[in-house]
Amino acid sequence: MSDGNGDGYAVRAEGLEKRYGEKRALDGFDLAVREGTVHGLLGPNGAGKTTAVRILSTLVRLDGGRATVAGLDVARRPREVRARIGLTGQYAAVDEVLTGRQNLEMFGRLFHLGGRRARLRATELLDRFDLTDAADKGVGTYSGGMRRRLDLAASMILAPAVLFLDEPTTGLDPRSRGEVWDSVRALVAGGTTVLLTTQYLEEADRLASRITVIDQGRAIADDTPDGLKNTVGGDRVEVVVADRADIPHAVKVVARVADGDPEADETELRVHAPVTDRVNALTEVARTLQDEGVAVEDIGLRRPSLDDVFLRLTGHRTEPPGARDTPTPAPQPKEVAA
């Protein structure tokens, strides 16, 4: 399904701008997504992820810059772009009353497939997303994971070259999340390119071969997950103290063996810093803290996670889904390419 313009990129954006009144939702945003890959788009709440996805999927007009999807300019050839993409919004939007099969047949008809082809396609997709057993039950009885898989299936009716997934697993339990991940992997194995926004750094780490970090409407980093972690440094020694008052003391002890300034997390009572000679650093810190009578809850070595990268780049931890500071604008319905 390589459907680009021959340059190997399924999505390209240069200097995208989008303003809502005074607010610059996108402020010179760049992106390049290789064909046949999962590309992660990570950023704190309000960073511009959904806006970028909506522009690339032609639902929102850009104010500046240029973007192509499957080799087609989104501003000049939106209809052709729409024929090549699928989109799953931040909220699942399948009909609760209909069965899984009826939902998919309905989407098929919306895409002008005709009754027979819509039925065939529905059966195929139910099988592909492991929903055959539940196909004739009302969606109201589905688990969260089944619902998202149905949502994914609906966005795959036309076997799109490029699929935009905006937080496809937010609110799902770990098992359902794993099921959605498997489905995404299967799609990509079949040639689809996926642009994925997510609140879960682990999700980006597991699925994406490349990640763009967006903050305040701009791309502030773009690399492989490992490349991003390397920018934060190698191993870290980490101490959790029992008593908040001991944090400054622990910082001093850790600083003696560290390669850079220790960071302290006052809420989690955690002090950590990059180290090179990992085992020596660990024993040294453990011994000194004990000698100096600092009570320790936990101590260990840790490789940097995408969380560390995210914190370093944006100054935020990702917020647990549900704890958003601004309500998202209107729920995004399943957007159907007309």
Ligand X SMILES: Nc1ncnc2c1ncn2[C@@H]1O[C@H](COP(=O)(O)OP(=O)(O)OP(=O)(O)O)[C@@H](O)[C@H]1O
Instruction: Summarize as ranges the residues that interact with Mg ion (CB under 5 A).
Output: 49-50
HSE-CB for 97 with a 13 A CA cutoff: 0
Which of these, 139, 131, 97, 104, lies nearest to 118 by C-alpha position?
Answer: 104
Cβ 41 to ligand X shortest distance, Å? 8
Please report whether residue 87 would count as binding ligand X according to CB under 6 A.
Answer: no
Q: Which is nearer to ligand X, 24 or 121 (CB)?
A: 24
Cβ 204 to ligand X shortest distance, Å? 13
What phi and psi, each to the nearest 5 degrees, are found at residue 15?
Answer: 60, 40
Q: Contact at 8 Å (CB) between 102 and 94?
A: no
Cβ 196 to ligand X shortest distance, Å? 13
Q: Which is nearer to ligand X, 28 or 46 (CB)?
A: 46
Q: Which is nearer to ligand X, 303 or 324 (CB)?
A: 324
Interaxial angle between packed helices 278-291 and 247-257, expressed in degrees from 0 to 180 and rounded to the nearest 10? 140
Query: Alpha helix (H) ranges present in the chain?
Result: 49-56, 78-82, 100-110, 115-128, 144-155, 174-189, 201-207, 225-232, 247-257, 278-291, 306-314
Which of these, 10, 333, 59, lies nearest to 160 by C-alpha position?
Answer: 10
Cβ 325 to ligand X shortest distance, Å? 9
Please report whether residue 216 would count as binding ligand X according to CB under 6 A.
Answer: no
Q: Which is nearer to Mg ion, 49 or 101 (CB)?
A: 49
Please report whether residue 23 would count as binding ligand X according to CB under 6 A.
Answer: yes
Site for ligand X in 38-77 (CB under 6 A): 43, 45-51
Chain centroid offset of residue 318 CA: 11
Cβ 47 to ligand X shortest distance, Å? 4
Residues that bind ligand X (CB under 6 A): 20, 23, 25, 43, 45-51, 324, 326, 328-329
